[in-house]
Structure 1
Amino acid sequence: MFKLFRRSGQAGPQSGPTEPAQTTLSARPEVRRSQKSSQPKGGAAPAQSSAPAKESGQAEEAVRAAGPEPIVLSQTVPMRARPEVLYRLALVPTRRAAWDSNMAESGWVDDAQTLKNGARARFRLVRRMSGLKFEVEYGGLKTSRSGGWRSVRGVGPLEQLSQQWTFQQVQGQPVTQVTLTLRGQVRYRWVRAQVERMLYNMLQTTLLDMQREIDAPTAGRIEELNQEARRQQEQQRKAEKAARKAARKRR
């Protein structure tokens, strides 16, 4: 048998049909550069698609920064006394603790001060109302008509606490419509319900104590009405709880 040797550079004979050559096309450098520039880096989504998410995030941050809404409670009670008597009874701090069962102590920061805008006083709540001490500044005083104070610093869970009194005499009658408004700004949302109940109790007892100081028979009637309102609220809560329980059983 013989072996055939092929010289280098000499093409050998073609055996059978040849398969078509597979070629790879590569883009020109300038085309590759344009394609890379058109694609976002890191496979990120287009900027316009992330705009709504950014807006919603900014809105949530604004709501968190604003904090919880303030608690505002107000009630009006008729009292058989002149407006000037009620005005000094409610706003002079040296007299407040003598009739208000919510206050353990009350007085001026400086004994030389008098009832005027900008004057400061100190109060301490009784133990059942947390026993907190705080300093207030008077403002909006209109002799025998209205006035109030606001806390200089935070009061426990409250960033600020304020009271506003309004006295309006009923024409032709020895009666004055007394309106007390409490306003409190809580620090955290999770304490809002507890603080609101505390302020509601303070509002009710303060007006009732003032009524007792002025007119004991009328104060007794107001206390009965408050007790009846509390009983109705308790019955309503029980009925709602029973309805929810029955609805769960039907499921």
Structure 2
Amino acid sequence: MAGLSSNWKQLSSKISKPSSNNNNNNTTHYNNKKKKSHTKAKEDHIQNSLKNDKHLLQLKHNRVNKDGFINASPLEFTLWTTIGNNEIKKENIPTTDNTINKSEKDRRKELGKIVAIDCEFVGAGEGRLSHLARVTIVNFYGHVVLDQYVQPRLRVTDWRTWVSGITPWHMQFAIKFDDARARVEEILKDRVLVGHALENDLDKLCLTHPKSLTRDTSTFPPFRAVSSGRTPGLKKLVKQFLDLDIQNGVHNPIEDARATMLLYRLQKNQIEAFAKSIK
């Protein structure tokens, strides 16, 4: 019986102690599970951060207060509050921000038949060629209908942040060039296009637009007169004709697109007459 008892003790000892292989398997399974959990938590955190960053970016662009009202710049305020073809006068343009309320059903948010565009570029490729990195379109009332960061088609060698305002951080919100081009093309179809030095913007978008539907503030003779017949800078035109300051540091394509639209609306009848004369 003593021998039997001794063997039983040894057998019991082996049964009660898990093998080293089992220990390793259990540890590996636990570590893998912990790693997957950590990876998922990290991915969720990144996605939530992106959503929050994108939301904050949109709020910054629109300057939306908690109550839903918008602190409109003089450009946006004038465009939004001047209805239809009512005349815009330089002396009636405010010099400070004013609060406006853009309700969801306001028809001034609709795309309409006249839009203004502005683009920002970065340096890409070995020759640091200009490539599209952001495109913005506003409607007749200055409401933003498209504001999209775009992935440059070549490796960026100069972000030109000091003037473009674009950094690598913004590229997490960027779409592919072909997608951006398609969106712009759809918006511009059969619409009057307003802008400043439009040839450059359209060239970088690899698009063309009918001359009969193009209104370029850089080619309008009364605007060119302030630069002795040369191509005037948008900043100079806005100061001369609207008595406002823009492009103080980093350029904002929303501001620039609204500026060209306001210049167009300020001289709408004359610009339309000029456009017809050069067909």
| Larger helix proportion of the pair | 2
TM-score normalised by the chain length of structure 2: 0.29
| Larger strand proportion of the pair | 1
Instruction: Determine which structure has more spread, i.e. the larger CA radius of gyration.
Output: 1
